[in-house]
Amino acid sequence: MKYKNLEEFKTSSGYDVDGLWYPRVTSIISIKAKPELYRYYGGLPSFAAGEAIKERSALEGQAVHSAVESILKREHAEIPRHIQPAVDAFIEFARHHQINPLKIEERVASKTHRYAGTIDVLAEVDGVVGVLDIKTSQAIYRDYGMQTAAYVEAFKEDPNLPPLTSWILRLDQAQVCNLCGAKMRSKGGNTKIRNNTKSWRNNCQHEWSEVRGEYEFQEVPDFEHNIKAFLGAKALWEWEHHEFLEKI
């Protein structure tokens, strides 16, 4: 991404923490190539169409995050109908796990490595304390480990916290074909049918269920590998933006 000036770069890429500017975790990770995303964009009518889908998807994801945050804070929330199944999936997850939120949507900074980010939740889940990162993607991707490792590494600088783990909680929603089991997922105004090899073979006419929520909960492995990758990405990100960083 190109920035018009230093202030735009600072606002878009980082946070001011205690009078110092720190690059944002998600900005740093964005330096990594994403071949699957490029392939996805390549199948769309135009780059603008991809950006529009991405923007709408982000708004939907933010709505899910806000609803989950309200539930964790035990606050009343008006949940938009179009994300209700995904929120119901979180409620189902909470029925099966003991969750004690310690920090919600709070900023964390590493003074050692000079970066900052905003966590979704620091929580005790089933007696274990860790960073709980909520995603609304169609799968859990390996890249997510870099993000959670960065948060865990920053929390290590707080002597009052125990050793932490991290998890990804994926919340999603889709319709399922009652005949062949294919899934139809709509996100950001874009609809795709997946896992439908059988439907193609049998020429299924598809009888779709109502939209159903689903969740996937996974502890993130390989912390040392992930934090090494994150700090490597940070070095590359700093190389890419050295002219702005020298001014800061």
Give the lowest-confidence range in 53-67, 86-100, 144-158, 217-231.
53-67
Evaluate whether residue 66 is within a structural domain: yes
**Tokens encoding 122:** 């620091």
Evaluate whether residue 199 is within a structural domain: yes
Q: Which of 157 and 45 is assigned the larger pLDDT?
A: 157
The string of pLDDT tens digits covering residues 128-185 is 999 999 999 999 999 999 999 999 999 999 999 999 999 999 999 999 999 888 899 9
Evaluate whether residue 1 is within a structural domain: no
Q: For position 91, which CATH number holds? A: 3.90.320
Evaluate whether residue 5 is within a structural domain: no
Evaluate whether residue 2 is within a structural domain: no
DSSP string, the chain: ---SSHHHHHHHHEEEETTEEEEBHHHHHTTS--HHHHHHHHTSS-HHHHHHHHHHHHHHHHHHHHHHHHHHTT------GGGHHHHHHHHHHHHHS-EEEEEES-EEEETTTTEEEE-SEEEEETTEEEEEEEE-SSS--TTHHHHHHHHHHHHTT-TTSPP-EEEEEEEEEEEEBTTT--EEEEETTEEEEES-HHHHHHT----B---EEEEEEEE---HHHHHHHHHHHHHHHHHHTHHHHHH-
Evaluate whether residue 167 is within a structural domain: yes
Evaluate whether residue 3 is within a structural domain: no
How distant, in Å, are the alpha carbons of 72, 137, 208, 239 from that of 67?
A: 9, 16, 26, 38
Does the reported pTM lie above 0.85?
yes
Q: Distance from first CA to last CA of the chain, Å, rounded?
A: 18
C-alpha 228/C-alpha 162 separation (Å) is 21
**C-alpha Rg value of the chain to the nearest Å:** 20
Domain count, the chain: 1
Structural domain of 194: 10-247
Evaluate whether residue 43 is within a structural domain: yes
Q: Given this model, what pLDDT does residue 45 score?
A: 83
The string of pLDDT tens digits covering residues 194-236 is 876 655 556 788 899 999 999 999 999 999 999 999 999 999 9
User: Minimal CA–CA distance to 91: which of 173, 26, 200?
Assistant: 173
